[in-house]
């Protein structure tokens, strides 16, 4: 078993009661359940982020190359035309 460190966190009373109730139902200690739930939630969030970043990278690869300077020049010409 990995070494553990004692940390104190503050939970609303009703959240702690839910944690204790669920821990009893599963037959585990509340701290073990809290660890399991945190790890599962954070791992899912990390996985979601990695998936989103991969999807963005794939989308970016399919986009056409754009000359930003040419776009800015064209926009400036159009703006000057509208103002004149």
* All structural domains of the chain with their residue ranges: 13-83
Q: What is the pTM of this model?
A: 0.52
Tokens representing residue 66 in the block: 């754009």
pLDDT of res. 37: 92
The pLDDT value given to residue 1: 56
Q: What phi, psi does 60 have (nearest 5°)?
A: -60, -35
Q: What is the largest CA-CA distance in the chain?
A: 78
- Closest of 61, 64, 63, 41 to residue 53, by C-alpha: 61
Percent of the chain with pLDDT over 90: 56
pLDDT, mean of residues 2-9: 82
């Amino acid at each position: 078993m990995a070494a553990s460190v004692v940390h104190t966190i503050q939970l609303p009373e009703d959240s702690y009661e839910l944690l204790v109730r669920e821990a009893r139902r599963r037959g585990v200690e509340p701290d073990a359940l809290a660890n399991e739930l945190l790890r599962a939630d954070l791992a899912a969030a990390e996985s979601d982020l990695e998936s989103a970043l991969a999807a963005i990278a794939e989308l970016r690869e399919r986009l056409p190359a754009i000359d930003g300077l040419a776009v800015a020049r064209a926009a400036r010409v159009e703006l000057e035309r509208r103002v004149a």
